[in-house]
Structure 1
């Protein structure tokens, strides 16, 4: 590959900017919920229904988004994601009822699928020797955006101003992407075929060496793979539900002002931003399952404490805890493990793992629509479900931990 044909730093810049805006997009409905309720003539149940559409949009597109990335290139796939996000943002303004809002929110889920399928492979190809750290910065950009969003909401009260600005920023990113070259697209067909063959041979050698080193004991997809996919679901469920509903918890359970309730998301997002960097260091020195179990157990403990003894101080602490121990990087640790377990099926298992995360975007808000209303008790029930799923995830982690001792190659990077 002729590295002079492209600039990896520019590839990274366009990707990180995209995720910076996307981080705000995923929370925009909950942050401006009062305005959207009036605009769409609905209530908190309607808002929850709209949020659940992100999951459906993600689920119906995540299966073929990866195929499109390999077939049509990283750049084109990312552009589809960016345009989908623009459609979502402008669609929210055009919507005059919940049904229209639900339709346009499907595009945000699609944006997530195409962004991930284009961005992560592009970063891996552009930075082959430090792909893990470059990929982790995607989460950092999202966390930074979500940290700043409540302050933006406080400064700019009209969502009709914010959404067009976000759309323009995404359009500028589309222009920037077309002005640079992505290394995958720069390969000629013959060179691409040769590289693919070399990678396939390397994977075969890795599997053979691992099988010999572990006396034939290799992870089983039906047990270890399924368990990790379940963990991908539980981890995502923990932080996604928390980030979407903690403002409602603050206003209904603690009777906080709208501004104070939304600030809880800032504590959560800032903590997750810090965690991205700390966890990347910790995971190099500790057994991955130890880290995941400890993080998830702490998150589950504070969720239980929060719903048992709700107070403003405890909720702020819990926001910090969930941001750090649930949203700051352990999902990526699980992805690393499943990729190491099944190197010859890396693309397939990554798709399954991401699909489980996408499922939470729909399942959590959908279940909540049957529970949630404007009462404090309903919000306690919503977070009790979040705590239950988190604890269940810890149990699965513990089971897989006892199995992993026979595999010597389990080491994240």
Structure 2
């Protein structure tokens, strides 16, 4: 494969490292932004919620249009809008305007998803699963780097805004590089689509999908996002308030979780390239996620929570969401952008509803109750993964007969 394809893929991945930074940059600079926007933590939280709204509002439309107009305009558009988010958010002093910029960040995420996921599948038609899963590694790397940068800036008494400017600068350089690159022609895209369908056990060129399959994938997109999103938001509090860990140790759980996620991405990619199929990996990850959640709710000790942070990060946040998309895209070999829009729209709805549900549980029950709720969600994920794996295997058998 030409080196240019790998370089193009690296540039696409790099956008997601910055996206990982963008997801956390508001919360990690919350105190400074409270002062700048003349608000409190609740006001900043409202701005954070705008990212999910912006992503949901545009994702399906952007995914569908990327099948018609090509991937490049949406990748470049996502980069440009993300730059506006970092710079605009940094210099605004109005909470309402900050909410608008947060909405733009969510929209930028949608544009990047609509262009990047299909493009990677087209660049690597023989191994779309590993190519897509690697996105998660770059997101995790951004989330790993940002806390270090924020800590260094604080220790040196430097302006917190340098982290915003650095992220925008990386995007600016990447924008220029990608702008100068050519786009693959329609013939190349069609060939990649045919290879994707063939390698995934789908009927090449078919745009139809059975209603039970569409429903199961959509529900899985919601459940998979909810399962690890809930843990990422409440893991530190669970360690401190339920497992009895001290504050510093509970914060370290997030680093352990991120480390598990990164390890899961690379080992999953290796397994998919050598001896496992996407549907098999999907089933393994969902079962292990459920079992680890069940154990940590039954025995919430500091040891079990620490081990859980790595294991759950490995299986639940190590690319299982992307695996589901790879399988769904095989059902839409010539409309991968549309498949991306459908699948991640369900995940965006999860980002809306899960915080509301968990806030109600926290007020009326406990943080342990939140994790018990996640056990139920993970159990539903196992059922859906079993159905998806069965249908995928059945379709492959029928295709080969």
Work out whether the TM-score is over 0.5: yes
Residue deviations 1:312-335 (CA, integer Å, cap 9, x gap): 322222211221011112222222
Distance in 1 (CA, whole Å) between partners of 2:17 and 2:212 is 36
Contact 2:129 2:323 in 1 (8 A): no
What is the distance in 2 between the residues matched to 1:257 and 1:204?
49
Q: Which region of structure 1 is more displaced relative to structure 2, 152-161 or 114-123?
A: 152-161
> 2: CA distance between counterparts of 1:140 and 1:152?
18
Does the CA contact (< 8 Å) of 2:325 and 2:340 recur in 1?
yes
**TM-score, normalized by length of structure 1?**
0.78
Task: Report how many aligned residue pairs link the two structures.
Answer: 391
Kept in 2, the 8 Å contact 1:275–1:325? The answer is yes
Asked if 1:231 is matched to 2:230, the reply is no
- 1:220-369 → structure 2 map (5 Å cutoff): 221-253=210-242, 259-283=248-272, 284-343=274-333, 345-369=335-359
Aligned to 1:114: 111
- Paired residue secondary structure (1:26): helix
5 Å-filtered alignment, 1:393-404, equals 393-404=381-392
1:146 touches 1:265 (CA, 8 Å); kept in 2? no
**SS across alignment from 1:343:** coil
Q: Distance in 2 between matches of 1:103 and 1:29?
A: 14
Q: Is the partner of 2:396 in helix, strand or coil?
A: coil
Secondary structure of 1:183's counterpart equals coil
- 1:155, 1:77 → 2: CA distance? 34
Most deviating of 347-356 and 175-184: 175-184
Q: Is the 8 A contact 1:126 1:183 kept in 2?
A: no
Query: Normalised by the size of structure 2, how large is the TM-score?
Result: 0.80
Deviating more after overlay: 65-74 vs 16-25: 65-74
Distance of 1:152 and 1:204 partners within structure 2: 39
| 2:378 alignment partner in structure 1 | 390
Q: Which of residues 170, 173, 192 in structure 1 aligns to 2:171?
A: 173
Tell me the residue number matched to 2:142. 145
* 1:153 shift after superposition: 4.0
CA distance in 2, matches of 1:231, 1:139: 17
Between 10-19 and 313-322, report the one with greater CA deviation: 10-19
- In structure 1, runs of 5+ residues without a counterpart are 213-217
Match of 1:104 in 2: 101
> SS state of the match for residue 27, structure 1?
helix
Q: Is the 8 A contact 2:21 2:146 kept in 1?
A: yes
Aligned partners of 1:96, 1:369: CA distance in 2, in Å? 29
The match for 1:133 among 110, 121, 130 is: 130
Greater mean alpha carbon deviation, residues 285-294 or residues 268-277: 285-294
CA spacing shift, 1:399–1:279, aligned 2, 3 Å: same
Secondary structure in 1 matching 2:154: coil
State the Cα distance separating 1:72 from its structure 2 match. Answer: 5.5
Task: Indicate the SS of the match to 1:286.
Answer: coil
Task: Describe the superposition over 1:17-65 as per-residue Cα deviations: whole angstroms up to 9, x where unpaired.
Answer: 221121122123444456556766434x666544433221111011222
Residue 115 of structure 1: how far off its partner (Å) = 1.4
Deviates more, 1:348-357 or 1:147-156: 147-156
In 2 relative to 1, CA 281–102 (structure 1 residues): closer, same or farther, beyond 3 Å?
A: same
Q: Which residue of 2 aligns with 1:215?
A: none
CA distance in 2, matches of 1:131, 1:203: 10
Which residue in 1 is equivalent to 2:13?
Answer: 16
Change beyond 3 A, Cα 1:277–1:175: closer
- Of 48, 53, 56, which residue of structure 1 is paired with 2:53? 56
